[in-house]
Structure 1
Amino acid sequence: MKMTAAVMYKQGLPAPYADSQPFRIEDVELDGPGPGEVLVEVRGAGLCHSDLSVVEGLRKRPLPIVGGHEGAGIVREVGAGVNELAPGDHVAMAAVAGCGHCRTCLAGRPGLCQAVTASRAEGMLSTGSRRLRLANGGRLNHYSGISVYAQYAVVAPSSLVKVDPAVPLDIAALFGCAVVTGAGAIFNSAKVRPGSFVAVIGLGGVGLTAIMAAREAGAEKIIGIDVLPAKFDLAKTVGATDCVDARDPQAVQQVLDLTYGGVDYAFEISGNLNALIMAQAITVRGGEVVGVGIGKSSAVFDVAQLSWVCEERVLRGSFMGSSVPQVDIPKYVDLYLRGRLPVEKLRSEHIGFQQLNRGFDLLASGNAIRQILLPHSL
């Protein structure tokens, strides 16, 4: 079929992106689903900082490629062998997917599946197929096995989670990345205990979700930290007990004073090395620093070996919230429907394809939390 999609031909173009146009809006061809694949009509797709890092060229992808890794839509067709989904089902589309039979998948960690990671690095679906083509028939790659900056997407069922139709599809899109990553970091990676002290550095969609989840987990003190104080009111609305301006020279001391010596868990969401250094400085002895944000692929940081050992500090990575989407997303949807995970507050605005590049300028400036692309609203 012919459809409209956002195609990236070059990474690392200069900002403002409204001028350099990293995404070209054009008609492309999409083949129907093969065996073990599903055709989804995309009804909402989020603009995420992970997508911004690809635009900036910090994380390389095979080009040309149709962008987007956080979305939701309606199943329109299923390929041979797909029994768990049917046309008309509402689904969240998650970038976490595994092969189902390797060592990490069997351990309940599909996000670490090397087989799927390898196929996606080549711009393919986890089935080893490509269903996208340029209008002239040229090769066109899939992004994270999803490519939701398009009107339709062919994906593997492992990337899809059926959701209650009571959830608006523009909100359901957030569950595929922002929610599973932020909430999963709290519930799965760190397993935050009731009564604990938590700091979240970086108050975008993932960070604000982490704050919501920390409140749900029963944390006593939840400190939101960002370089943009304009985000603090929203952070407090969704559960932060205190907020600290990361630019303040006394920011670390403020957190230490608020927590009688440091937080039990510091979640670094931004992918910034300075923020990671702050996370280590504000964590109490025996506490955990949880790295959630992804920065430049070549970035490295130092750990003080003596304090790491003698103070029993924990440094933990959390990729996509250590999630199993088919298990976790239904839980988070239930919390949302009961008003305990108000992820609708993350939504900044709806945009069409023509506003997509400008949307990344807003995201880079910090003046938007989660813009939602509506692919059928041109």
Structure 2
Amino acid sequence: MKMTAAVMYEQGLPAPYEKSEPFRIEEVDLEGPGPGEVLVEVRAAGLCHSDLSQVKGLRKRQLPVVGGHEAAGIVREVGAGVSGLSEGDHVVMTVVAGCGTCVRCRSGRPALCEAVTLPRTKGLLANGQRRLSRNGQPIYHYSGVSGFAEYAVTMPASLVRIDPSIPLDVAALFGCAVVTGAGAVLNTAQVQSGASVVVVGLGGVGLNSIMAARIAGASIIIGIDTRPDKFAIARELGATHTLDGNDGDLAAQVKDLTGGGADFVFDITGAGPVMTYAPEMLHPGGQVICVGLGASDTRHDYNHAALVSQERAIRGSFMGSCVPDRDIPHYMDLFSAGKMPVDRLKSQAIGFDRLNLSLDLLNGGDVIRQVLLPHGRL
């Protein structure tokens, strides 16, 4: 079938992206679904800092590629052998999809499934197939999703069926922003009632961490960002305090507010300077949870002697240690109950014509979550 999609042919093009146009809006060919695959009509796709990282070339991808990894849509066709999904089902599309049989998957950690990671690094679906092309030339899949398109062929493990009453432009955010931010707090760190929490970076992922910390019962929730205009929504969503990341000794300010240091610091940014001071914000025995990703070869400095002598810990959280079939329905229940107002994170809806400009807005920190509507409407 023919469809419109946003295709990236080159990484590392300079900003402003409205001029360099890293995404070209083109008509491409989509085959399938083949056996074990699903065709989804993409109704909404979120723009994430991970998309921006790919545009900047911080982590290399097989090119050309149809972008987008956080999306929601409607199942239009299922391939032979697919069970549990039917035409007309509303689904969230997510990167977190394992093979279901390896040691990591069987231990409840599908985000770490190596069987799925290898084909995806080659721009293929988890089964090793490619369904995208243009004029007979191959186009590759982005993280098994490729949501910046009118339609997508993907694997069932990348899809979670949802209540059709949930608006699809909200549902899309659950595929990455929600599972990553909330999961870091509830799954990776397992924050307990009464804990003190610091969240550095108040974009879509960071604000989900703020909401999750409130749900977990954290007594002190400190949001840090270099953009004070984000502080109002951070406080609305659960932050008890906010600090300007441009200020002086942030570690001293956190220790003041927490009576000696926080239990958890969540670094959503992946920025080198943050990891220099984040461990210093902890009390003895506290943990830094690293959520944001920088370049694939990034190295960070920290005070190793203090880490050892005060038994602090630094650990990673990839996609919120998510188990999609378990976590996404749970988070949606929290949304429906008014406890996780994810809809408050939407900055604007856009069409393909504004996609590159929207990368500039994201790069400048002027928005929280923009949502692409590939068909121009829900």
Give TM-score scaled by structure 1 length: 0.99
Which amino acid is 1:316 matched to? R
Q: CA deviation at 1:24?
A: 0.1
For residue 175 of structure 2, what is the aligned residue in structure 1?
176
> Secondary structure of the equivalent of 2:371?
strand
1:222 counterpart letter in structure 2: I
Give the residue type in structure 2 aligned to 1:213: A
> Counterpart of 2:138 in 1: which secondary structure?
coil
1:186 aligns with 185
Q: Which residue of 2 aligns with 1:108?
A: 108
Q: What corresponds to 1:167 in structure 2?
A: 166
Contact 2:275 2:301 in 1 (8 A): no
Q: Sequence identity of aligned pairs in percent?
A: 60
Is 2:126 the counterpart of 1:126?
yes
- The 2-side partners of 1:291 and 1:369 are apart by 20
Report what 1:144 is aligned to: 143
Offset, 1:245: 0.3
Deviation at 1:308, TM superposition (A): 2.0
Alpha-carbon distance in 2 for matches of 1:353, 1:36: 30
Query: Helix, strand or coil for the counterpart of 2:229?
Result: helix
Partner of residue 47, structure 2: 47
Matches within 5 A, 1:225-374: 225-374=224-373
Asked if structure 1 preserves the Cα contact closer than 8 Å seen for 2:93 and 2:159, the reply is: yes
Partner of 1:18: 18
CA distance in 2, matches of 1:113, 1:281: 33
When the two structures are aligned, how many residues end up with a matched partner? 377
Deviation at 1:13, TM superposition (A): 0.1
Letter in 1 for 2:208: T
Match for 1:203: what amino acid?
A: L
Unaligned regions of 5+ residues in structure 2, if any? Answer: none
Distance 1:305 1:342 in 2: 39
Is 2:41–2:75's contact at 8 Å kept on the other side of the alignment? yes
After superposition, the C-alpha distances for 1:185-240 in whole angstroms (9 at most, x for unaligned) are: 00000000100100000000000000000000000000000000000001001000
Distance in structure 2 (CA, Å) of the matches to 1:286 and 1:45: 39
Give, in angstroms, the shift of residue 157 of structure 1. Answer: 0.4
Letter in 1 for 2:12: G
Give the CA deviation at 1:310.
2.1
Supply the distance in 1 between the matched residues of 2:322 and 2:216 (Cα, whole angstroms): 16
1:201 matched residue in structure 2: 200
Distance 1:214 1:40 in 2: 33
Quote how far apart the aligned CAs of 1:303 are: 3.9
TM-score w.r.t. structure 2 length?
A: 0.99
Distance in 2, Cα, partners of 1:60 & 1:153: 22
Residue 305 of structure 1: CA displacement? 3.1
Give 2:74's aligned residue: 74
Offset of residue 281 of structure 1: 1.5
- 2:82 maps to a residue whose letter is V
Report the AA paired with residue 276 of structure 1: M
In 2, Cα distance between equivalents of 1:236 and 1:137: 52
Check conservation: 2:255, 2:262, Cα contact below 8 A. yes
Partner amino acid for 2:6? A
2:21 partner amino acid: Q
Instruction: Measure the CA separation in 2 of the matches of 1:250 and 1:97.
Output: 41
Question: Whole-Å Cα distance in 1 between the matches of residues 88 and 237 of structure 2?
Answer: 33
Deviation by residue 1:61-105 (Cα, 9 ceiling, x = unmatched): 000000000000000000011111000100000101111111111
Q: Deviations over 1:251-296 (max 9, x none)?
A: 2221111111111000000110111222112111100000000001
CA distance in 2, matches of 1:219, 1:108: 25
- State the 1:115 CA deviation: 1.2
Tell me the CA shift for residue 148 of structure 1: 0.2
* Distance in 2 between residues matched to 1:149 and 1:77, nearest whole Å: 19
CA–CA distance in 1 between the matches of 2:374 and 2:103?
A: 37
1:293-346: CA deviation from partner (whole Å, max 9, x where unpaired):
000111111343332222111111000000011110000000000000000011
Measure, in 2, the Cα distance between the counterparts of 1:77 and 1:272.
42
Letter in 1 for 2:266: F
Letter in 1 for 2:270: G
Structure 2 residue identity aligned to 1:26: E
Distance 1:348 1:137 in 2: 37
